[in-house]
Homo-oligomer: A and B are copies of this chain.
């Protein structure tokens, strides 16, 4: 099943069904009005909604053309958004660039922080930041959305609670991170509003590309209209989504609609730290990694962070080249 949320005059928008090929859409309203209501009542609503979805895909329903520009993030606001760092290559790069080792524990105990979820922005909305000097960066990631997960759920059961997959742009303000991490309480101001690709999909929509609780497809990032990264999200993912969900639920229940992110997708591809598209590599899912490579190689970074007007596009295609989630397409706008 594929789902989107059209913006309307309410905070939570209007839940829409979207055909598998992303061409057609119809309201989910005869069954359920919002994405959160669906997640709150997944078991009761899934079958009737799926019937409507199958009818949409087979052309039996009166449908309109799907317009991604009308979309908010699938959950315009959520009760819980926790982001892991499952691609330890990304963490290793960050640390190596500042001369620090990766502690051995990082390979079996996931890093996870909780991000703002009360004010997500839409996939085509501007990235508004108060100051260009804050080190504006994108981070292309995968995320899952869960049903209610009981405290103490083991990773081998966690998969039962994963209902949807999404793409995320976890915008980071790199200039604020060192100060915040030095304070010891983790990220807060350094993580402004995240956005998500227009369409959330049930795992079965990925077919054979979803196994071992990972998405085995390339995550495509274009920066200012040039291909910047195409790492495979199934490669070098040290902690799969089952492990991330279990980590999140160790000491708490997770409420329906909890979003758990993978962290920045990053592949080593047999090299020390991956390599750029221009050097024949799979590239990167954030600017910071390029800067770290440059720092390791040249002693200092040469690629700048994002400036006013810079754009980022994040998307994922299936094995036939068709977009699965639609695209995140955002522009940086400095808010005076």
**A residues bordering B, Cβ < 8 Å?**
11, 40, 77-80, 82, 85, 103, 105-106, 109, 111-119, 128-130, 134, 151-152, 173, 176, 179, 181-193, 247-248, 250-258, 335
Contact = CB atoms under 8 A, between A and B. Distances in A.
B111 A254 contact: no
Nearest to A80: B118
A187 B253 CA distance: 16
A256 B119 CA distance: 9
Given A112-B188, A185-B113, A130 B152 contact: yes
Given A109-B183, A111-B183, A112-B188, A254 B119 contact: yes
Contacts of A128: 151
Contacts of A105: 183
A193 B112 contact: no
B189 A186 contact: no
Contacts of A193: 252-253
Given A11-B256, A118-B257, A185-B187, 10 more contacts: A11-B255, A77-B255, A80-B116, A85-B185, A114-B116, A130-B250, A152-B335, A186-B187, A189-B247, A193-B253
A163 to B, nearest CB: 15
A96 B274 CA distance: 43
B188 A113 contact: yes
Contacts of A186: 113, 184-187
A251 B82 contact: no
State the 4 A-B residue pairs at the shortest beta-carbon distance, nearest first.
Answer: A186-B186, A118-B255, A79-B118, A80-B118
A80 to B, nearest CB: 4
B79 A77 contact: yes
B335 A250 contact: no
23 contacts: A11-B255, A11-B256, A79-B117, A79-B118, A80-B116, A85-B185, A105-B183, A113-B114, A113-B185, A113-B186, A118-B255, A118-B257, A119-B254, A119-B255, A128-B151, A129-B251, A130-B151, A130-B250, A151-B335, A185-B186, A190-B251, A192-B251, A192-B252
A118 B82 CA distance: 11
Nearest to A193: B252
A42 to B, nearest CB: 13
Nearest to A152: B130
A118 B335 contact: no
Best-surrounded residue of A111, A113, A115, A335 (most CB of chain B within 10 A): A113
Contacts of A179: 109
